[in-house]
Amino acid sequence: MPDASSIITIVQVCIMGIIVPLSLIYAIPLMFIRRFRHRIHVFTINTSMAILFCSIYWLVVSILKLTRLEKSTDAGTCTLELYVQAMCTLQVPLALVVVSIHRLSCVVYHNKIAFQNKRCISMCIIGQWLTGILISLPFFRKSERPCVMSYWMSYYALAITIVIPMSACAVANIIIWKHVKSSSRRIQPLLQSRTAIDTVNQQSKINRRDIYLLRHMIIMFLVFVAGWVPIHIMLILMNHIAMNIVVLRAMSLLAEISLLCDIIDLFLYSHKLRKYLQRTILEWCHA
């Protein structure tokens, strides 16, 4: 009979096995079907790819645990594993932060076309992936105990994965909220002219679209934080006290559930994609 640790690992494999195809099902239609091509969808696709990237790594790790393959104790291999682990996980919060920063630029500088063109969007996304690759490099530093995250590494992982992205996301969204609120106040005296009314209606549409996207990104970020803070706290505590393996696996399971909730929220955001997928499934069933 499998023990509690093995049962948790089996659940982890199942969850990651669901997230991977869901991420692909979400991203592929948005990338290849013309009707879904929109600047905003580029960021949601990027977020789904970050979740996919992270999920594949943790799926491989869970399968290796389940097959009970002997873990390498080589210092170089363990260092590389810690780096890949940090880099893969980090891409998810960074993808969410990039959305907030880009929408901040578009809302505050809505007259600047440069912030809305494809080159700017591409630079934002490339910058995100490069940032994740570069700021994870300190994990290549050898630890005092092989294959164990050192004291400073555990704090560094918490900072770059949770604290810094959460702070950046919070600041960007607060600035957006204040700008939208102040803009609404400034345009009230202009509502007498027809041109002003048309401008206000267009601006309100843009604001609603931005707020709708950011609301989902904030929800996804909060879910990510709720799922990943416990495991990072466990990693810090491991440097002071012995931790039960079942507790660690349970905290890892919570983190992976948060990824599943995030990809589900992407589907909730993209209602047109949901309708397309529902119609396609029904056509297949009746074929």
Alpha carbon of residue 232 to chain centroid = 17
Q: Residue 200 pLDDT > 50, yes or no?
A: no
Smallest CA-to-CA distance from 128 within 160, 80, 174 is with 160
Q: Residue 213's domain spans which residues?
A: 4-286
- How would you label 128-137 residue by residue, b for 16+ Cβ within 10 Å and e otherwise? bbebbeebbe
| Higher-confidence position of 140 and 73 | 140
pTM: 0.87
Does residue 184 carry a pLDDT above 80?
A: no
Instruction: Determine contact, residues 27/52, Cβ cutoff 8 Å.
Output: yes
User: Which of 54-63, 101-110, 207-216, 224-233 is predicted least confidently?
Assistant: 207-216
The CATH number of the domain holding residue 138 is: 1.20.1070.10
Q: Is the pLDDT of residue 197 over 70?
A: no
* 217 exposure class (CB count in 10 Å sphere: 0-12, 13-18, 19+): buried
Rounded Cα distance between 174 and 171, Å, is 5
CB 128 within 8 Å of CB 45 = no
Nearest to 84 by CA among 173, 157, 191: 157
pLDDT top residue among 151 and 281: 281
Structure tokens of 38? 């929109």
* CA pair distance 221, 233, nearest whole angstrom: 18
Q: Are 272 and 44 in contact (CB under 8 A)?
A: no
In the predicted model, what is the mean pLDDT of residues 1-29?
90
Q: In the predicted model, is pLDDT for residue 72 greater than 70?
A: no
Read off the pLDDT band of 147 (50, 70, 90): low
Most confident of 69-73, 211-215, 283-287: 283-287
More confident residue, 254 or 209: 254
pLDDT at residue number 146: 63
Q: In total, how many domains does the chain have?
A: 1
- The pLDDT tens digits of the residues spanning 38-56 come to 778 899 999 999 999 999 9
Average pLDDT on 239-249 reads 84
Confidence of residue 208 (pLDDT cuts 50, 70, 90): low
Confidence of residue 199 (pLDDT cuts 50, 70, 90): very low
What's the average model confidence in pLDDT over 195-217? Answer: 60
The per-residue DSSP string of 74-131 comes to: -HHHHHHHHHHHHHHHHHHHHHHHHHHHHHHHHHHTTT-GGGTSHHHHHHHHHHHHHH
Tokens of 202: 């267009």
Residues with Cβ within 8 Å of residue 194, at least 6 apart in sequence: none
Mean pLDDT, all residues of the chain: 83
User: So what's the pLDDT on residue 77?
Assistant: 79
